[in-house]
Structures are given as structure tokens and as C-alpha cells.
Amino acid sequence: MENKRNAEVNPAMKPLIPASIETGSGRKKTLWRRFVAQRHLQTMALLGVVWMIIFNYIPIYGLIISFKEYNIVKSIAEAPWVGLEHFRELFADEDLPNVIRNTLGISLIKLLIGFPLPIIFALFLNEVRSIRFKKTIQTISYLPHFLSWVVLGGILATWLADVGIINNILLALNFIDKPITYLAEPSYFWTIIITSDIWKELGWSAIIYLAAIAGVSPEMYEAATIDGAGRFQKMWFVTLPAIRATISILFVLAVSGVLNSNFDQILVLRNSLNDSTSNVIDYYIYQTGIVSNRFSYSAAVTLVKAVIALILLLIANQVSKKINDTSLF
């Protein structure tokens, strides 16, 4: 009773309600105030959410045709059900082992080589002291990313032709005896695809690592300098541990996309002569769905691919959580 009487006399003595224990109306008011205060940022974010719903979530309904015999003349609802027929046909396809081999071969080599290279590039670029030279290298490395594969594919096709610059250089250095038509040789296709993809995306992929490195406290480098650490020791013991979380998240995303083989690049550089090494899952889906008008079958292939990608994402996320204590969710 005395505490109650004191609280009435002095309102400051009233018990405070923890911020975590709010009524429903209070929480709504807090969210509304926050939205009003951040209305410009929230509006931009809302546009992204709307775009994602329209182009990423609503089309999920179309996957139902995987279990139907869809005809473009009729609606999805009118298409007859066929159950798992398309999935059985997929796993019985004689071309499937070669398609999987090409997809995993290209993607895994890209992951093993193409994933660490931007990290190494960002580490060494961060050590450059000349601002002008650093900006020049960044500009040169970023430039290929902004060119489409239609443009770069034409450039590569010209370079790799039997009268192209690559053959001319190798002939001048006596590395080869006669010109080689590289895009007509299946044995060279994986090398061309992996090398050109790294060349195009190296500088752009390094941006996020450079941003993470920029957030490392200078005091850590000063302490390492006092301890007698050199540049390579600072990179190994200071910079890399500081950006470990960023590396882990990007690695998880890279593993989940291992079944993606950069369809634009494959479509531009492939031909009938290198089909044995260029037929990947994305091109297989395009060939069966668009060219052959087998929309239900291609949707079934896409659904299987999406399920496998989800499983890979969950596995990579759990491994990252156990090893680095970093995960997407």
C-alpha cells in the first residue's frame, strides 16, 4: 500500500515496463512510427518486395504443370493430370547422365577456382598504396561485367577462331604447329567457359570483399604492425578472419547455385560440334521446354533442380554454422 501511495505522489516511482513486454497496440504504434521515420527507405524496399512477389512467388503456381500435360492453347487448370509421368521420363532419359556430368563438372570447377580468386584479388588490391593505380585496376577488372555475353561471346569467338589472335600468338611462339578451332573441339569447351567466366566476373565479385575489408578496424593493423607482422601476415591473421563471415555467406550461396551453369554464356558459346561437353541442365530445360514445346516436362526438370538446390543450401548453411558459427538462417 505504501509503494502504491508513493507511486501516486511521485509518478517517476511507477514501475517501468520492459521494452520487450509491449501490448499489441503499443507494438503497432512503434512499428508505424518507425515506418514513418524511414518512409523513404521503406518505400524503396517495398518496391523490391512487390517485384519479388510478382516475379518470384506468383510464378511458383506454374510448377503445377509438372504434374499435368500442359498445352499452351488451354489454361493450366484445364490441363489433365498425369502424376509423376514426366519425372519418370526424366530419370529414364539417356542424355541425363551426360547433362549432369557437364553441369557438375563446370560448376564445381568454377566453385573451386572462381570462388577464391576474387578473395585473393581483393586482398592484394587492398594492399596497393597508390590510389590512382588502384582505381585503374578496379576499373579494368570491373569493365567486362557490364558487357553482355552476346558481346563477349562474339569477341571470344573471334579470338578463338582458326585465324584469331590466340592462334596467331601460339603459332608465333611455336606452341602449336597448326591453327586450332577451339569452339569446335569439345575437349576445350570447359576451359573456355570457366576461364571466360572468371575473366568477366573477377573484379565485380571482389567488390563485396573490398567493402568488407574497408570495415576492418585500422587499430587491428596497427597492433599487428607493433607485433612485427608483415603484409602477408596481416592478410592471413587480420584481414581474412575479419571477413570470414562474408566469405561464409557467399560460399553458402555459391554452393546452392552449383546446378546453375550461366545459361547466357553457354547459349552463346555452344554449337553442335561441342554438344557433348556443353549440354548442361539449363540448356537442356531450354531445349525441351522452348524449342520442343514440352512445357510440362521442362517444368518437372526445373522442379527437381530447385529441390536439389534447396537441399544443397540447407546442407551448406548447417556446415557453415558448425564450422564458422555463421549462417543465413
Q: What confidence tens digit (pLDDT) does each residue in 19-61 have? A: 444 455 667 678 888 888 888 888 888 999 999 999 989 988 9
Instruction: Write down the pLDDT at residue 26.
Output: 63
**CA pair distance 45, 159, nearest whole angstrom:** 43
Distances (CA, A) of 292 to 15, 274, 284, 285: 72, 20, 11, 10
CA nearest 184: which of 271, 105, 121? 271
The list of the chain residues with pLDDT below 50 reads 1-22
Instruction: Write down the pLDDT at residue 246.
Output: 93
The number of C-alpha atoms within 13 Å of 285 and in the hemisphere containing its C-beta is: 21
Instruction: Write down the pLDDT at residue 75.
Output: 87
Instruction: Write down the pLDDT at residue 23.
Output: 55
CA nearest 112: which of 261, 263, 274, 258? 258
Instruction: Write down the pLDDT at residue 104.
Output: 94
Instruction: Write down the pLDDT at residue 252.
Output: 93
Instruction: Write down the pLDDT at residue 9.
Output: 44
Instruction: Write down the pLDDT at residue 65.
Output: 94
Angle (deg, nearest 10), helices 131-142 and 116-126:
160
> Amino acid identity, residue 295?
F
- Beta carbons within 10 angstroms of residue 118's beta carbon: 22
Map out the domains of the chain with their CATH numbers: 92-324 (1.10.3720.10)
